Amino acid sequence: MSFDWQKILESKRALRRDLAARPIGEKLRLLDALRERELAIRGRAVHPRSSVLREEPPPYRTKTK
Amino acid sequence: MDVKKVITVINQMQADGVIERYAVGGAVGATFYLEPIATLDVDIFVTFESAPGSLIASPQRIYDYLTARGGTIEREYIVIAGWPVQFLPPTGLLVAEALQESVVKDVDGTPACVLTAEHLAALALQTGRAKDKARLLQFVESGVLDAVRFQAILARHGLLEAWQKFERQFLHDPP
């Protein structure tokens, strides 16, 4: 373990590269697990929606140039 | 919860003639090129024929097909294998081109049609929410984009100015 910021950043980049290079089947299984975890976390959230700042315009534009 | 099962079901729906062409987009599509990106839904870009006698393409056949096979409708989604799936028709020229030029990837023996990395990045730039910009940055940093191909897409769809702005914001060191 290191507290050198450059080493920490490089370690994070290496982890991302490692995850990206995994077989797609494995990455899709990780997506399943991530979604389950996110749903569990959202289920425990107690803040009222009105106090949450959200950015949700339509996901894909219909306008073309 | 099984996103691979979602792809299998959509392949079968295509084989049964309900849809013509499809491609996985959004965060699930990006995961084919990057590290897994947490998401709550699956975006499927799709083309389908209009119903006989109608000029308007309707997703009704998709809904009928999937609900007959256990899918459930929740708002604009249909839930397949535990995943909310949104079917998106090509609403603009960029999406239409992205769908046309999608590629087939192998998922443990199952074919999956996926948007190219360059089109996913261009769509992220065009959509332009904070999370889209973050994803675009991931594409750039990962080095998976073919720069020539990406620039050509941006030029064809009037996105060069938006790209230059993105570059100034996120890719150039501050003075």
Q: Express each pLDDT in B32-78 by its tens digit.
A: 999 999 999 999 999 876 666 665 667 888 999 999 999 999 988 99
pLDDT tens for each residue of B140-154: 999 999 999 999 999
SS3 content of chain A, % helix, strand, coil (to 5): 60, 0, 40
Look over chain A and give the mean of its residue pLDDT values, rounded to a whole number. Answer: 81
CA dihedral B115, B144, B84, A36 (to 10 degrees): 160
SS3 content of chain B, % helix, strand, coil (to 5): 45, 20, 35
Taking CA–CA distances from A15, the nearest residue in chain B reads: B35
Contact call for A27 and B2, based on CB within 8 A: no
Contact call for B38 and A32, based on CB within 8 A: no
Contact call for B92 and A31, based on CB within 8 A: no
pLDDT tens for each residue of A10-54: 999 999 999 999 999 999 999 999 999 988 988 866 555 556 666
Show which of residues 62-121 on chain B sit within 8 Å of chain A, judged by CB atoms: 83, 88, 91-95, 105-108, 112
State how far residue B24 is from chain A, nearest Cα, in angstroms: 12
Asked if B137 and B37 count as a contact pair (C-beta separation under 8 A), the reply is no
pTM: 0.87
